[in-house]
Structure 1
Amino acid sequence: MGTGVGLREVGYLDGAGGGQVVVVDGVAYVGHMRSPHGTSIVDVRDPKNCRELAKIGMPPGTHSHKVRVADGLMVVNHEINNADSSPVPADFRGGIGIYDVSTPVRPREITRWKTEGKGVHRFDFDGRHVYMSPTLEGYVGTIMMIMDLKDPARPQETGRWWMPGQWTAGGEQPSWPQTAHRCHHPLRLGNRLYTSYWLAGFVILDIEDMSKPKLVSGLDWSPPFACPTHTALPLPFDIRGRRYLVVADEDVQRKDAEVAAFMWMVDITDERHPAPVGSFQVEGIDGAPQPTMTACHQPCEKVTGTEIPFAWFAHGLRMIDVKDPHGPREVAHFMPDVPQGTDRVSSNDVTVDDRGLIYLIDRRRGLTIVERL
């Protein structure tokens, strides 16, 4: 059993590692990192006795490591997994899978939307629209696309946005190497999409007219910082009359001696001029060389207050209070046991349920459930 300060383990489900977990009405949906595991559906109403209800597989060389659920629909990504050297079936095409999970024990595939290239990496879903990052023919790297699921059996593209330079079929030329500037994933709040764009930082998009997303502003700190921007999470409330983003860089694609990824607080009160005002790094990551996947990865995208649960890779779960945006601070932490068959913790994603329980998925093995004390 793991150890913590201000957090206590109340349940554990052994199983394949995951990229994302969401919980709806006492059921957890886990998107797994590697095939043959695709998506697991788990009854977590009794966290001490979690019970698998159903599972969906994926073919070799691919994964379905992201999942969202709303209004009885489950959306998962389909993507070629570059970390898996297994041959990909010749007929595989990436995209998204759409399922009816109104009866979680019997998920029913409604349809698949397919695209060219690797597929879809990550996305947001509000029950009607999917805000996602697909590869598309004629573009370099993933772009932002909005998909309408009014009729889930017939997904329809509503709009798209890309960074100038990505549309090579239209004559554009990127000023960056390979796919360094690409959409990681958008998050919607109101008529804005807060969209992480990897080594191009993040952008804020106006989607008042979803058919024509418009750039409001952006902010890019790579360089000088080496790690790519993973998540731009808008707080759904003001703090002392000002609006903020919690921004997470992902601790990958750097040399050991370079600065490890950390969390930023960005003031977006004037959204045309986003301004970094604070940051947080776990104690002990002090500038000494660190292997990648040691530091920051992903905040809980379900915001319930100023305490934000964070999956901090090798440092487990960190609860960061952002009520002072200029000085965010850790108020609790939990370190899971090192999963069997691995050499260290690799906390990848975190979410909360309506009871306040926190779900922490390790990218290599196991789902831990904890409660705040």
Structure 2
Amino acid sequence: MTAHTLPQPEYSRNMRLIGHSNQGGKPDGVQVMVHRGYAYIGHMVSQGFSIVDVRDPKNPRDAGFVAAPAGTWNVHLQAHDDLLLVINARDLFADVRFADEKVYYTRSVSETVQGSNARGWSAGVRIFDISTPDKPREISFLSLDGIGVHRIWYVGGRWAYVSALLDGYSDYIFLTLDLADPCNPQIAGRWWLPGMHTAGGETPSWPEGKRYALHHAIISGDTAYASWRDGGLTLLDIKDKNAPQLISHRNWSPPFGGGTHTALPLPDRDLLVVLDEAVLDNQEDGEKLIWLFDIREPANPVSIATFPQPNERDYVSKGAHFGPHNLHENRPGSFVSSTLIFATYQNAGVRAYDISNPFQPKETGALVPAAPTVMMDTRPGRPQIIQSCDVFVDPQGIIYSTDYNGGLSIIEYLG
């Protein structure tokens, strides 16, 4: 797609669209990683992951697709050095029981799928050698029981950290993985919120209609900053990878709507950006916010500010999800900043914020991509509206953002 045929963004301020890819005809995207000039994109519908050559970000080129096993989705992945880690989990949105989003977001996944017959999916983590970036070669598979893995944090070295729904638990919990030999990965430790280990006799202590489940953790030093959807935030001491220990737990749902998705530590400033994901249409799950916490005292994280919300139009009535989804996660080898934060806001696109003054975050740029031209999401009644999902910023400051239906937007920040 050449520059003159770029889809016209609905809105932009201090950002401009410089490239777009429909990902080889599979424009449904969830997590995106850009590594050595190639974008690796997990799909929501297309059951696999795509590779796009973005060495020239203005002219992205399809560079391959790796299929998932039957009945399996690869929504999330992580690339570092010569390794690509890809999640395998049951394709839940292909299951008619999850056709209504509320079922997925307001009750334990294990409760919905219990009594399922023969397992028609693959659960675990696939590890690929990507020393040739556009030719991933699978070198190992960590097989797990249960529904599978939702998301991974891996930035090189011996350890990876995943959220996994194993048999015997109500929903996704925290696991540490030992990759001392990447051809033979092993589970090292696990941690969960009390009440989640149903096979161990625990019973949920949380209210009906709430979903306590690890979305994922971001690791800094010996601390895992973990987001538990309606279960809030935990800081875990992971010095001993085999036995994570709780440092602190904060939950603000209720009164707020939950959906805690990402906790991004800014260690040089003792700050933590915590994002609550909007998960239902027209803000039915309440107003969702991006919070800034002071974590000078890890045992007592304190919220000190919220980020401003997009307000150049009425996004609630626009339809679909309005509210935060994910943050650019400051991974080693990507754009790293503790004052400039990038987030996706679903029907309000991609946003940039300056948090130099931690008590007064300011929006400094925005781009709302055009509505998708095709709908990949097969769930009935989904609106044909942009839902900017993930965001990755490369070391040059180029922004890559996925959408469930609208392909990959490549954006330049002009701030």
TM-score range (shorter-chain normalised) is over 0.9
User: Which whole-Å CA distance do the structure 1 matches of 2:348 and 2:316 have between them?
Assistant: 16
Taking the TM superposition and a 5 Å limit, the aligned residue runs for 1:237-256 are 237-238=268-269, 243-253=270-280, 256=283
Taking the TM superposition and a 5 Å limit, the aligned residue runs for 1:1-373 are 1-2=8-9, 3-15=11-23, 16-36=27-47, 38-85=48-95, 90-127=119-156, 128-176=158-206, 177=208, 180-238=211-269, 243-253=270-280, 256=283, 259-280=286-307, 281-283=309-311, 291=319, 293-302=321-330, 303-342=336-375, 343-373=384-414
Q: CA deviation at 1:88?
A: 10
Q: Check conservation: 1:75, 1:97, Cα contact below 8 A.
A: yes
User: Counterpart amino acid of 2:46?
Assistant: S
User: Which whole-Å CA distance do the structure 1 matches of 2:315 and 2:181 have between them?
Assistant: 51
User: Which whole-Å CA distance do the structure 2 matches of 1:20 and 1:45 have between them?
Assistant: 19
Q: CA deviation at 1:165?
A: 1.3
Q: Secondary structure at the match of 1:225?
A: coil
Q: Secondary structure at the match of 1:163?
A: coil
User: Counterpart amino acid of 1:277?
Assistant: I
Coordinate RMSD, CA, aligned: 2.2
Q: Secondary structure at the match of 2:268?
A: coil
Q: Check conservation: 1:30, 1:40, Cα contact below 8 A.
A: yes
As a proportion of its length, which structure holds more helix? 2
User: Counterpart amino acid of 1:293?
Assistant: H
Distance 1:24 1:354, change over 3 A: same
User: Counterpart amino acid of 1:368?
Assistant: S
Q: Check conservation: 2:374, 2:405, Cα contact below 8 A.
A: no
User: Which whole-Å CA distance do the structure 2 matches of 1:256 and 1:286 have between them?
Assistant: 12
User: Which whole-Å CA distance do the structure 2 matches of 1:256 and 1:152 have between them?
Assistant: 42
Identity rate of aligned residues, in percent?
A: 38
Distance 1:289 1:314, change over 3 A: closer
Q: CA deviation at 1:161?
A: 0.7
User: Which whole-Å CA distance do the structure 2 matches of 1:159 and 1:80 have between them?
Assistant: 23
Q: CA deviation at 1:58?
A: 2.2
**Is there any run of 5+ residues in structure 2 with no aligned partner, and where?**
1-7, 97-115, 331-335, 376-383
Distance 1:103 1:224, change over 3 A: same
Deviations 1:131-152 (A, max 9, x none): 1111112221111000011211
User: Which whole-Å CA distance do the structure 2 matches of 1:284 and 1:10 have between them?
Assistant: 22
- Equivalenced residues, count: 368
The two structures have a TM-score, normalised by structure 1, of 0.93
Q: Check conservation: 1:227, 1:253, Cα contact below 8 A.
A: no
Q: CA deviation at 1:30?
A: 0.7
Q: Check conservation: 1:259, 1:287, Cα contact below 8 A.
A: no
Q: CA deviation at 1:105?
A: 2.2
Structure 1 segments, 4+ long, off by >6 Å, are 86-89, 285-290
Q: Secondary structure at the match of 2:373?
A: coil
